Amino acid sequence: MGMGNLAKMAQQMQADMARAQQELDELRVEGSAGGGVVKAVVSGKLDIVSIAIDPEVVDPDDLDDLQDLVVAAVADAQTLSLIHISEPTRR
pLDDT tens-digit map of 28-83: 999 999 999 999 999 988 899 999 999 998 998 999 999 999 999 999 999 999 99
16, 44, 67, 83 from 21: Cα distances, Å: 9, 9, 32, 16
Contact 39, 75 (CB under 8 A): no
Mean pLDDT of 14-19: 90
**Residue 91 in this model has a pLDDT that exceeds 60:** no
The residue type at 72: A
**Confidence at residue 1, expressed as pLDDT on a 0 to 100 scale:** 67
Report angle CA 73, 85, 5 to the nearest 5 degrees. 160
pTM: 0.75
Structure-model confidence comparison of residues 34 and 3, the more confident one: 34
Q: Please, is 51 exposed, middle or buried when counting C-beta atoms within 10 Å of its C-beta (0-12, 13-18, 19+)?
A: middle
